[in-house]
Structure 1
Amino acid sequence: MTHITQLLDIHPLREMLYNELHSRPFQVIPSPARITHLALQVNEQQKAEQFRHLQKLHELLGYEIPEQVTHCYEKTFDHFRIRWEQHLEFTTYTLIHLSPEPADDPFRQTALADLPSAWLAALPGALVAGFHMAIEDAREVEEPEPTEVKPWFEQMRLIGSNSLDGAARIWTSFQLHRDGLGRLLVYNKQLSDSQLGRLVQRLVEIETYRLMALLALPDARRISPLLGDMDDQLNRLTDTLAHQQHCQAVDERALLAELTQMAARVEAFRAQTTFRFTATRAYAEMIETRLQALREDEVSGHLTINEFLSRRLLPAVSTCQAVSERLEDISRRVDRASDMMRTRVDMAIQQQNRELLGAMNQRSKIQLMMQHTVEGLSVAAISYYLVGLGKYLLEALYGTGWHFNKSLAMGILVPLVLVSVWCVTRHIHHRFHALAHDECDDDFDRQARPHKRE
């Protein structure tokens, strides 16, 4: 039987597109269990080191070393499981101890105890999110009262809710504890192992994404006062331009230089923060969808996770969004003011050019008048020298025996020479003017010819 895939051209990314939806499957987690989740921000070099470091863990524990790099890798070692995921700007390790011993304190035993300490200390990247999660089976262990839960969170204020329509209860503090990590406590009341895995995945993503979203807040706080100063400076410049007709002493080129410097600062801020602000918006949207999936109910007057994050996280995200929009607004205003200033400077330059051309035209007229005067004087000078030469010629002829009235001959010669010199001079003058006119016409034709072809 011939398959259709043997008849058609197959897109090279088709298989990858199918597998992408299954690249990060939900885990199946039994209860009770102990989970430790670590999210590390990494650069491109550290991303490559992460998988080599994961291979080293297999070598240390005596297991087969994985060869193919994937975005999500999961392996069970005897009594604990490790899940490694690679994201755009961070990687995560989820460690699950599958058979914890009963204890009075659910956080006394953590999944970190299953890892070699030297391997853990050499993890590439900077830790952003890290917390322990204790999962208890409320069907076998009696669920404690909130007053009994509080000591496990070092007397910190609790945030808790009944999740998934009461099928599980969640406790957390959203704070760091003595070991430098956060804590979550989940009591499984009705969930299957696969449902519990989906709940754990949502909690892990909420805690990781909320911290990644807040990475932009220090940048927003840092540049916000600088944007205020730039806003005041821009208002002053635009006000100066608006009232320039009443203040003719304004240096437009100096204002343009100031606007150009301001535009450079704005672009520097945008280059530093655009990715971070965009990532914050994306993380906030993912957190919102995860919170909706929890379907929380309040527990005895405690804030739910949704309520707490709405009061604390969303204002921070809104601050980043407001700073990002303000940065874009200042950038647009600087561009408009710069365009207006360039237009004014261009108009001023054109006015100066017109005045310069007018002055040059006036000087040309004066030079032309002087030229005509010089031409008149030159006619007299040339005529004087030619009459002198004619006088020598008449005397030579008279000396050879030609008899004529020398005074009369000289009187006739003078007007003839003057008229001849004037005519020759005018002819040369008109000849040069005709040559200049023909050259101008040729230049005009050469410039007009490409436009005619177009």
Structure 2
Amino acid sequence: MHPLRDVLYAELHSRPFQVIPSPTRISYLAIMVGSEQKNAEHEHFRSLYSYFDGIPPEGDGACFEVDFGNFKIRRDKHLEFTSYMITHTPVDGSIGFFDQNALDCLPINWLSKIPGIVIAAFHVAVEDARTIPELDLALVKSHFEGMRLVGSRPQNGDAQVWTSFQLHSDGCGRFLIYNKNMSDSQLGRMVQRVVEIETYRLMALLALPMARRYSAELVNMDEQLAQITANLSDSTEPLDEQAILGELIDMAAWVEATRAKTSFRFSATKAYHELVLKRLNELKEDEVSGHLTITEFMTRRLTPAVRTCSTVGNHLESLSRRIDRVSDMMRTQVEMSIQSQNQQLLTSMDRRSKIQLAMQHTVEGLSVAAISYYSVGLLKFLIEAVYDKGVNFDKSLVIGLSVPLVVGGVWLATRRIHKRFLLLAKAREEKGE
């Protein structure tokens, strides 16, 4: 058996759909928890059991669903957030849909100390249209504090959903659902889809302020790069290549830093948007006359925001590639300039080497004359010594005849030494020394 076989089977059932009766009241919290807060959040959840004399679980899991008697709480762990869904069956049906909510079942001290940042908080009121009549539109609107409503009939008309997609006076969103012909299991699945749509659309919109902030900076960066490119292509005067390369390096550093900050957020926005579209398709909505459906509302409001994020992400990628191309062009231009300078330097060195060679030949000639002069002087001492010993010969003639012989000998010796050094240098060059 594969060691992960049991884990793979359990994964399919790690987040079971809830069975939700009608009527019921639901409160939902989605809390963004950082990596350093995850352990603290888990311990805080375990501390909830002590308020109701329960035994907390030892390990942490993807999903916990606990029945505390008068309410149920479900905790789900996701990649970026942890969600709490509290379900409570109302005792007094005469109280307004949102006057009492399921959060009232939780201890205030515990609720206020949950680690993390709340990104989604809303209440869901579920009523049974088979036992009580639906309210007319004016009364429904009063439960949403007079805000404009979005409504539809999901599951091919088996339910009626009303919402405003806005925050109300209690700082939470609101959903009103009438169950017309759905079982508790079907209702649980539909409520889960509605909850996920609201949560995922908020998570998808997290990147929008970031996209708007960097969009204006990208326009300025585009104009700066266009100006640099125009200067490179149109300028007839020498350019400060080092200064231009410095500007390009600063621009490239800013683009890469921005990509590092936005890449994950933009990718997450795309993923959350795809989940929203999938959940909307699963709702199978029918239109309520005169009102936008949830799908229409999301398509008109959420999709443009997601496209804005996608556009800014693509703009960053495009700007990065363009900066690379201009940088390559500048580097090529600098290399060509360096090669031209090297060529001029080599030409100058060649001229200097020819001058040095001419000077060397001159020095060699002078050296031959000097060595010959001193050699003749030494030879003169030798001739005079022989003459003084009584050997009879023409001293002046012998000294005069020795001069060309000495000069020729010195010249031959100098040339031989010169050839020897040339052969030694050539041998070393062939050996690669």
Smaller-chain TM-score range?
over 0.9
Other-structure match for 1:127: 118
Matched, 1:394 2:383: yes
Partner Cα distance (2:135, 2:267) in 1: 42
Match status 1:52 vs 2:43: yes
**What does residue 252 of structure 1 align with?**
241
SS at match of 2:65: strand
Structure 2 unaligned spans of 5+? none
Alignment of 1:418 with 2:427, yes or no, is: no
Among 255, 270, 285, the residue aligned to 2:259 = 270
Matched with 1:279 is: 268
**Equivalent residue for 2:33?**
42
Letter in 1 for 2:186: Q
Could you say what secondary structure the match of 2:358 adopts?
A: helix
Q: Which residue of 2 aligns with 1:383?
A: 372
Task: Tell me the SS of whatever aligns to 1:85.
Answer: strand
Q: Is the 8 A contact 1:137 1:187 kept in 2?
A: yes
2:281 to 288, 292, 315: 292
The CA distance in 2 between the partners of 1:441 and 1:253, in whole Å, is: 40
CA contact (8 A) 1:133 1:184 kept: yes
2:146 is aligned with what amino acid? Q
Residues 149-298 of structure 1 aligned to structure 2 (within 5 Å): 149-244=140-235, 247-298=236-287
Corresponding residue SS for 1:186 = strand
Whether 2:416 is the aligned partner of 1:427: answer yes
- Amino acid paired to 1:45: E
Question: Shift in Å at residue 358 of structure 1?
Answer: 1.5
Output one character per residue of 1:184-225: Cα deviation in whole Å (capped at 9) or x when no partner. 000000111110110011011000001111110110111111
Q: Is the CA contact (8 Å cut-off) linking 1:40 and 1:129 kept in structure 2? A: yes
1:316/1:430 CA distance change after superposition, 3 Å = same
C-alpha displacement of 1:261: 0.7
Q: Quote the Cα distance in structure 1 between the aligned partners of 2:335 and 2:46.
A: 65
In structure 1, give the amino acid aligned to 2:272: Y
State how many pairs are aligned.
433
Letter in 2 for 1:168: A
Do structure 1's residue 439 and structure 2's residue 405 form an aligned pair? no
Query: Structure 2 counterpart of 1:249, which letter?
Result: P
Compute the TM-score of the two structures, normalised by the length of structure 2: 0.98
Q: Is 2:314 aligned against 1:325?
A: yes
Task: Tell me the alpha carbon deviations over residues 151-197 of structure 1, each in whole angstroms, 9 at most, x when there is no partner.
Answer: 00000000000111000000000000010000000000011111011
- Hey, which bits of structure 1, 4+ residues long, moved more than 3 A? none
Indicate the SS of the match to 1:238: helix
Q: Deviations over 1:309-368 (max 9, x none)?
A: 111111111111111111111011011111111111112112211211121111111101
Residues 437 and 212 from structure 1, CA distance in 2 versus in 1: closer, same or farther, beyond 3 angstroms? same
Q: Deviations over 1:394-414 (max 9, x none)?
A: 001111122111111112110
Q: CA deviation at 1:66?
A: 0.9
SS in 2 for 1:45: coil
What runs of 5+ residues in structure 1 fail to find an aligned partner?
A: 445-454
Check conservation: 1:33, 1:100, Cα contact below 8 A: no
Amino acid at match of 1:157: R
Query: What is the Cα deviation at residue 50 of structure 1?
Result: 1.3
CA apart distance, 1:106: 0.9
What's the offset of the Cα at 1:98? 3.0
Q: TM-score, normalised by structure 1?
A: 0.94
Q: Aligned residue for 1:355?
A: 344
Tell me the SS of whatever aligns to 1:404.
coil
Output the CA distance in 2 between the equivalents of 1:83 and 1:347.
68
Aligned residues of 1:81 and 1:98 also touching (Cα < 8 A):
no
Match of 1:306 among 292, 295, 298: 295
Which amino acid is 2:143 matched to?
W
Shift of 1:104: 4.4
**Matching residue of 1:147:** 138
1:338-353 to 2 correspondences below 5 Å: 338-353=327-342
Q: Secondary structure at the match of 1:124?
A: coil
Tell me, in whole angstroms, the C-alpha distance in 2 between the residues paired with 1:369 and 1:175.
Answer: 94
Amino acid at match of 2:159: A
Q: Which amino acid aligns with 1:43?
A: G
Counterpart check, 1:20 vs 2:20 = no
Q: Is this contact kept in 2: 1:383–1:417, CA < 8 A?
A: yes
Distance 1:104 1:116 in 2: 21
